[in-house]
Every structure is written in C-alpha cells, then in structure tokens.
Amino acid sequence: MVSFGSKALPSRRHKTHNLTEDNLMAGEDNSYGRRKKDTRRKAAKGYREFEGDHRQKGLSGWGPDGTVKPEKPFKHKNTSEPKTYRLRKQVDPEMAKYFSEIANVIEGNEVDLEERSVICGNALEEARGKELELATDYIISHTLQALLEGCDVDHLCRFLQSCAKDFPYIAMDRSGSHVAETALKSLSLHLQDKESYTLVEETLATICKVIVVNPVDVMCNCYGSHVIRSLLCLCKGVPLDSPEFHATKSSTVLAERLNFRPPQLDGNGVPHQQGLPELLKFFVLEMFKCAQKDIAILQVEQYSSLVLQAILKLLAGHDEELWHIIPLLLGCKKENSKEGNFIEIDEVRNIVDLMKETAFSHLMEVILEVAPETLYDEIFTKVFRNSLFEVSSHHCGNFSVQALVSHARCQRQVESIWEELGPKFKDLLEMGRSGVIASLLAASQRLDTHAQKCCQALAAAVCPANEPPKCIVPRILFLESYLCCEDKSNWTWPRGVKMHVLGSLILQTVFKCLSGFIQPYVSSITSMETDHVLEAAKDAGGARVIEAFLSSNASKKHKQRLVVKLRGHFGELAMHPSGSFTVEKCFTACNVSLRETIMHELLAVRTELSKTKHGPHLLRRLDVDRFAAWPDQWRLKQSSKESAYKDFYATFGSKETQSSKTDSFVDPSYHSSHPKSVKAMRKEIDQCLASVTKLNVSGHKRHPEGAEQGSEKFSKQTLDEDVLKIKNKESKKKKNYGSIEHASAAARDKEPSQSVDKMEKKRSWKDGLSKPFTKKLKV
C-alpha cells in the first residue's frame, strides 16, 4: 500500500482493472468524465487525435508513426546536424488508472495543504522515467499540472531534472507545453526563497543546457516558442505571463511612438523579482552560438521572431550583449566586429528585402528600439538612408520606418528623414501609410526640429493651395473616407461614419506644437459647423482632438469660439464617458461666463449624471454642488484660481506660456519646461484654494452643526494666516530699524486688534452663510 498522509490508496503496481487499452485511449474511462468540464484546453476526439494538431506546416510535433520529429526544413535551411527522433511510448492502462485516482484525491476538499504536498510529491516520484508520455497525454497532463502546483520545491526540481533530456519535446507538444509552463511558474515562486535559490538555479541551468543543443526547433514551434519566452522571463525576474515579452498590443506601441506614453525600455513598469542574470546571458549567447547557421530561418519564422523580440527586450540596456546579438540578427558577418563597420554594403540590399517580411519587420522594430546609439546610427545610415520611401511604401516595411523615426536620437537624423519623406507626404497618405507621417510629426515635436515644416506639408497634402484651409481638420478626421473619394474637391462631411483613428492621433500630435506652427489647423477647427463639432465631440477620436485643441497654447479667443458651438449640449455630452472629459476641458478653457453656462446645463442633468460611473468624478471636479448652493462663493473661487494660475505661469512658465498668459489657462503637460513640477504645483494650488473655501454640502444637509464647525475652521485658518503675515512684517521691521525689542513690541501691540477684527469679519461672514443654509434645511 502507498500512503498519502491520512489517505491510503492501493499502489498502481498491485492494482488491476478491467479497462482495455483501447477504451482508455478513447477517453471512455468514467473517472475522467467529470474532468472534461474543467479542462482548459479543447478536448481531443481521442488519445491519438492530438497528434494531428502538430502536423501543420512549419510546426514541430509527433509524426504519424508515433515519433517526435522536428520541424520541416525551410527551402533555404542548411543544417549539418542530423535530426533526432524520439519514440513516443503509450501510457499503460495501469499508470493511467493510478493517476486517475490521484486526480480524484487532490481535487477533493478533505485533503489539507500539508497532506496535499505529500501526495503530489509521491505521485511525481511514480512518474519518474515516464515524464514524456505522461506530460504529452491530454488527460494526464492536467493531473501533472495540479501535482506540480502542489508539490514542494524538492520534488518539483527532481521532476524537471529527471525529464530535462526530454524537456524540448515536452515543450513542443500541445499538452506538454502547459505542463512545462506550470512547472516554470511554480519555480518562479520558489526562486524568491533564498534557501531554494541554488536548487532552482541548478535545475534551470540543466534545462537550458539541453535546449541550447538544438534551439531552432523549439524556437520555431508555436508551443515551444511560448515556453522559451517564459523561461527567459523567469531568468530575467519578470512575470512569466507579462504581455510586454509575449505579445505587445499594437495600441501600446503606437501610444509610445506618438509620445502619448513613456517608452517601456528595460521592462520599465514591469515588476521585477529575483532573477538569474548570469544564467540569462549564458542561455541567450549559447542559443545564438548554436543557431548561428540557421539564422536565416529565425529571421523570417513567425514564432522564432517572437522569441528573438523577447530576448532583445529583456536585454535592453545591456549594450555589450546587444552589440553581439543585433549584428547576427541582421545577418552580418562575425568578423566585422569593429564598431561602425558591422554592416557591409553588399548586405544592405538583403536587409531591406527582409524588412518586407512580416516576422522580420516586427523584429526590426524591436532592434531599433533597443539598439545602442552608435549601432542605431550605423543601421540608420547604411540601411535606411536613401531607401526610406521604398521601405515606407511596403505594407510591412513601413512599420520598420515608423520604429526608426520614433526612436531617432538626434535632430540630424530627423532632418535626414524629413529630406526623404517630407516631399512625399501626399503619396504616403494615398498609399495608406499615415502611420509614417504620424511618427515623423511626433519625432519632430519631441526633438524640437522641423515641426513647422511637417505641419505645413501635412496641410498641403490634404488641402491644395486653391482650397480654403477650413477643410484641413475635417479631412484628416475622416482621412480614409477622403482618400477613397474620387472627386476630392467635392468631398463632404460623411454622416454616421466613425472617425479615422490615425487621423485623430495625427491631429492630437499637431496641436501639441507651438501655436505659430498650427494656425491653419486652428482656423480649420474653429470654422467647423456646429453640428459637425457636436458629432466630433461624440466620437471617441474626435473628442480627443477637441480636447487636444483646448489644451494647446492657442489663444483663449479661438478656444471659446469652439466651446460656444457646444452650448446647449454639455449635459448631453457629460452623460457619455468620453464626452465628460471634453466637458471638463471646455470648462477649463473658457471664461467665467461660459463656465456658468456649463454649470447650469450640468445642474439640469445632475441626478442622472450622478448615477453614472464617471458622473460623480465630473461633478466633483467642476464643483457643481458648490455652485448650486453658493454661486457667489463658487465664482470667487474660480477667480482666485485663475489669478493664481496666471501668477504662477508668469513666474515659472515657458516663454510661450508667458506670452499667452493673459489669454487662457495653459495645460502644463504640453510644455517642455519642468512638466512634472508644473503639474504638481497646479495640484497644490487647487488643494490650497479648496482648503480655504471648503464646505461639505452633503455633510451640512445631514448635520447642521457641521456648518458652524466648518466656518470656525475657516476663521481659525484665516487667523493663523494673519498672524503669519504679522510675523513677516515683524521680521521686516527688524531689518529696517535694527531693534529686536522695538519690533516685537510693535507686533504685540498690533496683533490683537488685527486678529479680533478679522475674527469679527469671519463671524459675520459665517452668520451670513447660515441664513440661506437654514432656509435650505427647512425646505
């Protein structure tokens, strides 16, 4: 008998059953029936059917004869090493029955944590020597995952060390890959334990040494690729399921390229844990050493490209390793190791052609993102220069150009890009390559060069010289509709059509530029018809364009001209999640009179708005409750805030801000002079103003005495401020008269009378507030 804590199950060696092998292979065992509902992977039609999933083009897996075979060679593949085949043994029925009983035990609730660990460890000992067939069995692989999650670190490491020689085959299997992933996730938890660190490191080193013998097959396999990326993340010390190193969303990449989000180089924003940096470097360098002959495969294969991208991102900032890896990925000769001479002229044409392949195009994007500055400049000079328009015209290559432009390091590079692509803006738009233009606009704005020329070229591309400039913004908002129109001169605003995503992003980038560069765009957006402005405000992309314009340093006069067109619709816009941001921007950009108009419209929908998810935030931000109860106090606060902002920007703002300080509030996030400090200072000003005039309306309704307490706090704070002013005057008198005693006596004589006068004023103010407040309570 084999003991499992308080449970005792017959050993599989002494138990027989009546299930035939055919029934077991077909999944007819009733003990597995209820587990099918909990499976995370799609059930196979039969035990042997899963082999068919591996017989796809370009994938490794099991052959029809029951052997594990590597991937089919590509047409240009030239490898000298013979491929190894591993005979896959079937799971015997007795072993299958044993793991069925184990599954029933560990799934129950009657087993405590300590007993569960013992059961899992004993079961893994029974699997020793048979890990390959068990891990690749669709049903038993689920049980193995549960065992690997519940066992202790010793049994976990022994299991992996025992199956290390078969780990690549397990990783390339549909079911086995999940077992491998589960084992790595369990190891990541134990890696944080100092006592287990050495054992885990030895186990991972054993697995890595096996993989590097023939890494190409694993990297090019759809399942093996994911396992290797998880293994790399584990060695780096980042979460195994981090999307940054598996599949980055295109929206995230686009946001970084257009300066809407800071770059995430070197895993910034990704939580780091205890890692194995030396093992990571060993694993990566040995993989490239062994796969050097097959680099042509890795460049264009989909799944290997994902592995290579993950490697580059994990090594971002490690210039020494990147100098070794990137030239290999570009197909450069090893002997060209001298800096500035990695890329030979005869290799350039091949690299340009490779960028027209989907997999290599994605890989080149990451290369340009992480490349050291000197290496980036060499790639820029030798590969892209004089080929920018050719590569930009290709449906895959243009993404490499976007990455090149977005990661430009200096003004010289942007100038060179502008010389090639600036005159081609219209051609790029007609070919649907607006992303290249958006990236160039963002780079010129980030590096403060050629921004005005880019804005002018874009305007000329959508609005010929013989047409009025008012059509610029509408045509860019509906860029696809405009470009598809045969008679572009008679194009009109389409009704009920979603606005172009890249077009709206381009306009948002444009409105970040200095006001002198964007006058045609300002004129165009302020000349839009009222119903068009409203339709744009209701569209997610159009609303962000309006917000970008209202946050720009355009004059207050132009901003109010646009805000007036939304009069009568602020309540309607506020009910929409995206529209609420537009309402808030309108409120910030306009004068006090228009603000009161917005407040009256919001009051009409306050009840419905407060029930939405975003409504309470908007009501609180605009202080709608205060306006409803004490409009005069609300006006005073708005005037004080405006004065404070203007004084602050007059002192600390940029020259552009100071020149327009009398026109509007300027959003500090759009200026280059200490943006973080400005934002923090603006928040501090808001907090100070709020604390001076703070009255909790909802609190007053429930507790009338709270009004007196709030007013008393206000008086006390004012009194403290008066005392502070007197002390400041006192210090001045010390300097003027040079007599400490005389200054102190004067301050003592003056302080009581001023303080009493101030207190009396605040008390009368408090009494004055209590009258309308009492009336409100009676109602």
Mean pLDDT of 4-24: 36
How far CA 547 is from CA of 399, 417, 541, 586, in Å, comes to 28, 30, 10, 8
Number of residues in the chain:
779
CB-CB contact of 283 with 337 (8 Å): no
How far CA 712 is from CA of 629, 667, 696, 706, 766, in Å, comes to 19, 35, 14, 10, 8
Residue 647, H or E segment:
helix 631-652
Mean pLDDT of 83-111: 80
pLDDT per position as a tens digit, 130-148: 999 999 999 999 999 999 9
How would you class 162 by CB atoms within 10 Å of its CB: exposed for 0-12, middle for 13-18, buried for 19 or more? middle
Spatial CA neighbour of 700 closest among 636, 768, 774 = 774
Q: What percent of the chain has pLDDT over 90?
A: 56
Residues 6+ apart with CB under 8 A from 14: none
* Cα–Cα–Cα angle for 548, 553, 558, rounded to 5 degrees: 85
Task: Dig out the tokens for 160 from the structure.
Answer: 């992996």
What pLDDT score does 112 carry? 78
CA separation for the pair 374, 408 (Å, rounded): 12
pLDDT per position as a tens digit, 328-339: 999 887 655 555
Q: How confident is the model at residue 271 (pLDDT cuts 50, 70, 90)?
A: low
How far CA 160 is from CA of 91, 128, 130, 163, 520, in Å, comes to 19, 10, 12, 5, 66
CA separation for the pair 589, 602 (Å, rounded): 17
As a whole number, the mean pLDDT across the chain is: 77
What pLDDT score does 108 carry? 72
What pLDDT score does 638 carry? 85
How far CA 180 is from CA of 172, 192, 282, in Å, comes to 10, 19, 21
What pLDDT score does 163 carry? 94
CA separation for the pair 726, 427 (Å, rounded): 70
Whether pLDDT at 316 is above 50: yes
- When comparing pLDDT for 489 and 425, which is higher? 425
What pLDDT score does 168 carry? 95
Task: Dig out the tokens for 716 from the structure.
Answer: 């006390």
Whether pLDDT at 698 is above 50: no
How far CA 488 is from CA of 25, 367, 429, 462, 506, in Å, comes to 66, 39, 13, 9, 20
- Indicate the residue type of 124: L
Long-range CB contacts for residues 643-651, cutoff 8 Å, separation at least 24: 644/685, 644/689, 645/682, 645/685, 648/681, 648/682, 648/685
pLDDT per position as a tens digit, 203-236: 999 999 999 999 999 999 999 999 999 999 999 9
Mean pLDDT of 190-194: 87
Whether pLDDT at 43 is above 50: no
- When comparing pLDDT for 5 and 351, which is higher? 351
CB-CB contact of 510 with 455 (8 Å): yes
Mean pLDDT of 519-531: 96
Mean pLDDT of 89-100: 89
Spatial CA neighbour of 475 closest among 456, 494, 457 = 494
Q: What percent of the chain has pLDDT over 70?
A: 68
What pLDDT score does 115 carry? 85
Task: Dig out the tokens for 149 from the structure.
Answer: 């999650």
Mean pLDDT of 92-106: 90
283 by DSSP, 3-state: which? helix
CA separation for the pair 679, 683 (Å, rounded): 6
How far CA 733 is from CA of 98, 347, 490, 741, 748, in Å, comes to 94, 79, 75, 10, 13
pLDDT per position as a tens digit, 531-555: 999 999 999 999 999 999 999 989 9
8 by DSSP, 3-state: which? strand
pLDDT per position as a tens digit, 561-571: 999 999 999 99
What pLDDT score does 679 carry? 53
What pLDDT score does 251 carry? 67
What pLDDT score does 54 carry? 36
pLDDT per position as a tens digit, 494-508: 988 999 999 999 999
What pLDDT score does 685 carry? 56
Percent helix, strand and coil across the chain, each to the nearest 5: 70, 0, 30
- When comparing pLDDT for 369 and 767, which is higher? 369
* pTM, rounded to two decimals: 0.73
Q: How confident is the model at residue 382 (pLDDT cuts 50, 70, 90)?
A: very high
Mean pLDDT of 463-472: 91
- Indicate the residue type of 30: N
CB-CB contact of 215 with 232 (8 Å): no
317 by DSSP, 3-state: which? coil
Distance of CA 277 to the CA centre of its chain: 25
- When comparing pLDDT for 664 and 279, which is higher? 279
What pLDDT score does 240 carry? 82
CA separation for the pair 221, 182 (Å, rounded): 18
What pLDDT score does 242 carry? 74
Q: What is the DSSP letter of 77?
A: -
Whether pLDDT at 667 is above 70: no
Residue 716, H or E segment:
helix 705-737
Report the range out of 183-192, 417-426, 583-592 with the highest average pLDDT: 417-426
Whether pLDDT at 664 is above 70: no
What pLDDT score does 336 carry? 55
- When comparing pLDDT for 745 and 162, which is higher? 162
